[in-house]
Amino acid sequence: MTVHAPVRTRPLYVDLDQTLVSADISLESFVRFARRGVAQALLLLWWLMRGRAYAKAMVARRVRIDPATLPYRAEVLAMIAEARREGRRVVLASGSHWRPVAAIARHLGLFDASIGTSARRNLKGRNKLAWIMADADGDFGYVGDSPADRPIWRAAAEAVSVGVCPAGVRALSVRRKPLWRALLKAMRSHQWAKNALIFVPLVTSGLWADTRLIAQALGAFALFSLAASGVYLINDLLDIEADRAHRTKRHRPLASGALPIPAALAAGTLLLLVPPVLGWALLGPRFGVVLIGYLALTTAYSLRLKAVMTLDVIVLACLYTVRIFAGAMAIAVPVSSWLLTFAIFLFLSLAYLKRYTELAQATDDPRRLLGGRGYTGGDVEVVMMMGVAAGMVSVLVLALFISNATAVYDHGTPQLLSGLCLILLYWLTRVWMMARRGEVSGDPIAFAITDRRSLAMGVLAAAIVVVAQKVVIPL
């Protein structure tokens, strides 16, 4: 019969990744290093070929993890606090490199010691077990999460898991969302409303009653939505650190640790590759090319362009406008240059509005660049001025387009389209005024689809378009 040492004299060893924190420090470090450029990504691959421990050491020298923003598990922290009250020695033992492990241990101030991977030894599985047995010199407790911890659990007098739970291992109940639910949230299906722009050419061409074209537009909408979700996943993966430092974005699935990096990477890659192939095959090469171009531009935006002042809002405006162009390609109708020009200026105004709300909420030094952006807090008034001006130009372009359309339409009552100018003028003025008062936060499109007056204006505008196309009213 094995006699175990009293619990109060038994040291407790706690794993880091997905145990103390609902994140993977090594994978995050790899992603942050690789996103710096193609050369860094290739260098990382070379280091990984020389061994995982070597790659962790090389990246840890160049990437710093901020312990203050990590998503710690409250349940594990409570267990550590209880062990300390009992007078037990508590050690942070992780397969991540010892540099970030030591920094996290210092930040929390709850550990008597810490140990991690070095350039010559990957502290995982049996390597970690050997170190723990030499350090403990007897019975020990261990808190882990993964199949790699099985040999440690078998040797431990006190085995606790917050992940997989083999027989004989006590499960520590932690709050976590089901993986599928975290993935759906990360895909941001509520943002798919933006892709309704794909239906604009169907409506403006007057072919909105053609069931075949409706089906094609619906297919284009679905493919664009799935591809956009892939972009969101990859973008959130690249922005984990910045999101964790943000007041609201820290609750996103990747930043909070609810969605593991491997799952996000696999789903994001799949969603980026499949829609263009299906689009090319089902809706034709032109639509496929437009979708590929959209993905290339939005990837460039995520990696670099969003940090370039002014260019970032122009790219955002183009990304919205591309959706209209894609809708035209999907149903094979010509797209008006007037419509594209109007869209560019309208979405330029909304892109500036998005930046304005971010700047207005910033509390940093007005001379300091916002994290990941090319603006300082002092730019807020100029950004507002540019956004309002772009919005007014979009109203002017719409008025000129309607004037031109009135002269060439041979059906309906095109004069009614002038009402669209008044609706747009009202909506833009209102949304900018609300933003100035701090009543609009984040994406203005997301605001519009949840704001009752905005929805009412949208319904009224759609009604005007339909009546102007189909009903003859003597004026």
pLDDT tens per residue across span 415-437: 778 888 999 999 999 999 998 88
Is 176 within 8 Å of 163 (Cβ atoms)?
Answer: no
pLDDT value at 410 more than 60: no
Alpha carbons 8 and 473: distance in angstroms, whole number: 89
pLDDT value at 131 more than 50: yes
Which residue type occupies 12?
Answer: L
pLDDT value at 112 more than 90: yes
Cα-Cα-Cα-Cα dihedral sign, residues 140, 145, 149, 153: positive
pTM of the model: 0.78
Q: What percentage of residues in the chain have a pLDDT greater than 70?
A: 91
Q: What percentage of residues in the chain have a pLDDT greater than 90?
A: 37
pLDDT value at 199 more than 70: yes
pLDDT tens per residue across span 382-396: 889 999 999 999 999
In this prediction, residue 12 carries a pLDDT of 93
Which residue type occupies 95?
Answer: G
**Mean pLDDT within 152-163:** 87
**Mean pLDDT within 278-294:** 92
